[in-house]
Chain A
Amino acid sequence: MFVMKSDKFKFSSLSMHIFLDRIDTNMAFESMLLGVLTRGTDKHRTLSDLNSYLDTLYSMTLGTRRHSFAGNRFLSASIEYLDKKYTYDGTELESPGVEIIKELLFDPLLDQDGLFLDAYVESEKQNLINAFNSRKNNTKAYAASRCVEIMSEDEPGFQSFDDALECISNITAKSLTDYYYKVISACSFVCFYVGNTPERAISAVEDMMHSLKQKGRLGTLPHMFTLQAPHIPSDVTSLNIPIEVSQCKLSVGYKTPVVFGAADVTPHEIYATQLLNEIFGGGASSKLFLNVRETKGLCYYCGSSYSIYSGIINVNSGIDSADRALVEAEIDAQLDSIRRGDISADELENAKRALKFSYTQITDSTEALEYFYLWRTLFFTAASHTEVIDGIMSVTAEDVACAAKKIVKCACVCIDTPAEEGRAPDNE
């Protein structure tokens, strides 16, 4: 259990992450399981029962999530709850909070045959199918999502949305219950707490672990996690998606082997790549914002993001159809300029300050603290956020140019109004 004591917050957070290292798993089963578990527990048998109960605990938030880090997959449940000091009747919320996580993960609602309720399984199947299909409703997000999907195809454990849809439609109450028992059998898990009263949280978690040990449901986390380097494709995949839109949605994808925890990758290289992303398209002083939007007026938004876990750098923009080639060329040109070392002292300094700001503000959010410290400590390094800031400050323009040279263009997705005669054919 990781504990961060902080008296900054009126709400504390506690999360439990189950490591899925001993089973065959995929997005479809993970999503289905979390969906069905949150429909009701043995004690709170419907969604409204469960939500009503959480409301009475001063609107305690109960969330579930899937996490995937280069081949390492986790299912997580977390709560956020009000500190006793601020409840108006002195209610202490740690014990009921830990109890509700335990109830959700280990005391699910099962029918007389020991299976998940068929009604919940079928309903969640439909909800997931609808949710996957509804991705297309938001074309801006859909373009980015498809681009990332294309670049992830060769990664371990990858499952496409189409494959997931097929898998979901074949899931039954029996197959999902079997999967659930594999997940919780001697599972290894880790807990993370941020708040003002760790003693009460630790005590509540110890009680839960004691109870789980008695049921033989506790394994141990591996001493060392293995993170796999990303696969970098040699060709650029281009995808035109025909949807009637007012504005063409363009998503350009790049990949770098510089990822968190990969062999031969140093923290310094990661910092340099983070700075590269800032200079390229990270914010209002980035090359993409200043050139594509401000100078050329080609779009309202054009920015990039970098995932330190997958090595994906994704550029997204909404543009006029007629400007597509121009914008794509401009995006590539801006990256090329960084590769050539065209980085001014101001650009580097601004990017460093932006990242310093991002890492400093981590301490203002329980969620950000958990995200930063838990996964870094588990996978890679125990460096604090201030040590990371120091590392970022030591990066030079040459380091950034070097990081840019490792980046390879892999995909380009464009959502646009269906092709007319004489235009390039659509391929989705």
Chain B
Amino acid sequence: MNERKSVLSEETVSMPRIDESYLKIQHESGLSIYVHPKDMSVTYAILCVNFGSMDQSFVDENGYPCLELPHGTAHFMEHKIFENEDGSDSFERFSALGADANAYTTHNRTVYLFNCTEYFDECLEELLHFVTHPCFRKESIDRERDIIAQEILMYEDNPYSRAQEALIEAMYFKHPIKNKVSGTVESIEDITAETLYECHSQFYKASEMSLVICGNADPDNVVSIVDKVMIESNPSRGKRRLKVTSFEEPITVRCERVEIQMPINRPILNLGFKLPVPLPEDASIERDLALDLICEMLFSRSTELYSTLFDGGFIAPWFSSSLADSEDYANISISTETEHCDKVIELIENYIDQKLENGFESEEFERCRRVGYAELISTFDSTEDIAEFMIEGIVKHRNIYDYITTVESLTKEYVESVFRQTFSNRQKSVVIITPTN
């Protein structure tokens, strides 16, 4: 790459064995840039902001409470930031460039993205510009409130997302993960243009953002566009000042069992295990991958457990498990349709206890390691998957290729030790959605 004053550092990270590499650039503005070349038709770009639904209560530099945001603020911002000063909407501008733009909010971040097959430069400039140059008008915020209220109601009618939300609420006492990403119809009433401007100036700083581009993009060109938008127009600089208010989350669950009635045909069971959070020094790629493999060995469609549940006619063919693992929370949720909720819970618990007592078979460990390895490699067949994987890595300060080398070197003994640490003292919550009469 040509030398540019605005580039503070750059580093190439590669994994020749799988024919992949990317360039990491630290930009003068504070923005971290990652360019992953890929010979695909679609180039995918993500701008990730470290501001999510869990960022609600803040203290100042002296530890005094100074800001309390209504639930759903980050998500509301995600909806409204596409509007420009001249009244135009960036969604439409992307459309005019033949690009597909979108955005989403999670518990710990807000993500703005586009994918395009042409006009990459114009699209990237648009992405950087609209995220750093907000325009919040009262009348459009009022209108957006109605749209978001409809989005909230849409999820309320979906029993599967309702069950998952209720499960997280049942597991946690204080952790802000228990609050809905989109907020509630009531909480979004309190969000105003002032709220959004305050959040933008506090949290949408270049140093709190990462830009990931995967596809046909020239790094030098990317930097020149970043220079133009992030230096010349001088968006907010500096570091985030406010810190999230700390809280103590008990290891137990808030509620062991919740039943909700909805107009469905067959009961839906969501079973959650609240797992202990690792000490910062224990958090590692090895541990994350071990947890993935444990889920695979316990709950995949290849296990004895699945055979017992499915062949026994206890569950629907679909039986899914998902692991949520962050620096201050960890849980596994299992979901299926069943008329035999208590029997299914008992069989799952017994299976886990049996594995805790006897350990995993070498054969099943190797089988699941191959699955984990193949799933990681499959990521590299899609610019979208690579970009999303890179964001996961960035949030956890990790090199994505290390996941591949690590899964190859994982041992059964290590995975079993993580299994015992996390599952021996697991805490359980159950949510059952039952049919109304």
| A pairs with B | yes
> A interface vs B, CB < 8 Å?
8-11, 46-48, 51-52, 54-56, 58-59, 82, 86, 88, 123, 126-127, 130-131, 133-134, 136-140, 243-247, 249, 283-285, 290, 293-294, 297-301, 318-320, 346, 349-350, 353-354, 356-357, 360-361, 363-365
Say yes or no: is B101 at the interface (Cβ < 8 Å to chain A). Answer: yes
Q: In terms of DSSP, what is the predominant structure of the interface of chain A?
A: helix
With a cutoff of 8 Å between Cβ atoms, the chain A residues found around residue B91 in the complex are 284-285
Say yes or no: is B265 at the interface (Cβ < 8 Å to chain A). Answer: yes
CB <8 Å contact, A9 and B381 = yes
CB <8 Å contact, A137 and B95 = no
* Contact code string B92-126 (vs A, CB < 8 Å = 1, else 0): 10111111110000000000000111000000000
CB <8 Å contact, B147 and A297 = yes
A56 and B378 in contact, given A48-B302, A137-B264 (Cβ under 8 angstroms): no
CB <8 Å contact, B95 and A354 = yes
With a cutoff of 8 Å between Cβ atoms, the chain B residues found around residue A10 in the complex are 18, 377-378, 380-381
Min CB–CB distance A162 → chain B (angstroms): 14
Q: B373-430: which residues lie under 8 A (CB-CB) from chain A?
A: 373-375, 377-378, 380-383, 408
CB <8 Å contact, B117 and A55 = no
CB <8 Å contact, A246 and B382 = no
Complexed CA–CA distance, A232 and B371 (Å): 48
Most buried by B among A294, A300, A363: A300
Complexed CA–CA distance, A114 and B40 (Å): 49
CB <8 Å contact, B316 and A52 = no
CB <8 Å contact, A130 and B157 = no
Complexed CA–CA distance, A243 and B262 (Å): 10
Say yes or no: is B311 at the interface (Cβ < 8 Å to chain A). Answer: yes
Compute the total of residue contacts between A and B using a CB distance below 8 Å.
Answer: 174
CB <8 Å contact, A133 and B265 = yes
With a cutoff of 8 Å between Cβ atoms, the chain B residues found around residue A133 in the complex are 265-266
A46 and B307 in contact, given A56-B367, A140-B158, A361-B117 (Cβ under 8 angstroms): yes
Say yes or no: is B211 at the interface (Cβ < 8 Å to chain A). Answer: no
CB <8 Å contact, B98 and A127 = no
A361 and B41 in contact, given A59-B370, A126-B313, A297-B146 (Cβ under 8 angstroms): yes
With a cutoff of 8 Å between Cβ atoms, the chain B residues found around residue A318 in the complex are 150, 153-154, 157
A139 and B98 in contact, given A10-B378, A10-B380, A11-B378 (Cβ under 8 angstroms): no
Q: B278-310: which residues lie under 8 A (CB-CB) from chain A?
A: 300-304, 306-307, 310
Known: A353-B97, A364-B40. 8 other contacts (CB 8 A): A134-B316, A137-B266, A138-B158, A246-B157, A247-B150, A247-B157, A357-B99, A364-B383
CB <8 Å contact, A8 and B39 = yes
With a cutoff of 8 Å between Cβ atoms, the chain B residues found around residue A58 in the complex are 370-371, 373-374
With a cutoff of 8 Å between Cβ atoms, the chain A residues found around residue B366 in the complex are 56
Complexed CA–CA distance, A123 and B313 (Å): 7
With a cutoff of 8 Å between Cβ atoms, the chain B residues found around residue A131 in the complex are 316-317
Chain A minimum-CB-distance residue to B378: A11
CB <8 Å contact, B310 and A47 = yes
With a cutoff of 8 Å between Cβ atoms, the chain A residues found around residue B316 in the complex are 127, 130-131, 134
CB <8 Å contact, B156 and A247 = yes
CB <8 Å contact, A301 and B40 = no
CB <8 Å contact, B18 and A86 = yes
Instruction: Give the 7 A-B residue pairs with the shortest CB-CB distance, closest first.
Output: A353-B98, A285-B95, A247-B153, A59-B374, A51-B302, A300-B151, A300-B150
CB <8 Å contact, A353 and B150 = no
A246 and B301 in contact, given A52-B367, A353-B98 (Cβ under 8 angstroms): no
With a cutoff of 8 Å between Cβ atoms, the chain A residues found around residue B89 in the complex are 294
Complexed CA–CA distance, A133 and B436 (Å): 14
With a cutoff of 8 Å between Cβ atoms, the chain B residues found around residue A246 in the complex are 153, 156-157
Most buried by A among B95, B144, B151: B95
CB <8 Å contact, A284 and B101 = yes
Chain A minimum-CB-distance residue to B185: A246
Which of B42, B97, B408 contacts A361 (CB under 8 A)?
Answer: B42
Complexed CA–CA distance, A86 and B265 (Å): 45
Say yes or no: is B345 at the interface (Cβ < 8 Å to chain A). Answer: no
With a cutoff of 8 Å between Cβ atoms, the chain A residues found around residue B306 in the complex are 47-48
Min CB–CB distance B429 → chain A (angstroms): 21
Sample of 18 A–B contacts (CB below 8 Å): A10-B377, A10-B380, A46-B311, A47-B301, A51-B302, A52-B302, A136-B264, A137-B264, A246-B153, A247-B157, A283-B100, A293-B147, A297-B146, A353-B95, A353-B96, A353-B98, A361-B117, A364-B41
A55 and B154 in contact, given A127-B317, A297-B146 (Cβ under 8 angstroms): no
With a cutoff of 8 Å between Cβ atoms, the chain A residues found around residue B231 in the complex are none
Most buried by B among A51, A137, A290, A353: A137
CB <8 Å contact, A283 and B377 = no
CB <8 Å contact, A55 and B436 = no
Complexed CA–CA distance, A300 and B371 (Å): 38
Chain B minimum-CB-distance residue to A356: B98
CB <8 Å contact, B408 and A88 = yes
With a cutoff of 8 Å between Cβ atoms, the chain A residues found around residue B408 in the complex are 88
With a cutoff of 8 Å between Cβ atoms, the chain A residues found around residue B97 in the complex are 353
Most buried by A among B39, B91, B377: B377
Say yes or no: is B138 at the interface (Cβ < 8 Å to chain A). Answer: no
* Contact code string B255-271 (vs A, CB < 8 Å = 1, else 0): 00000001111101000
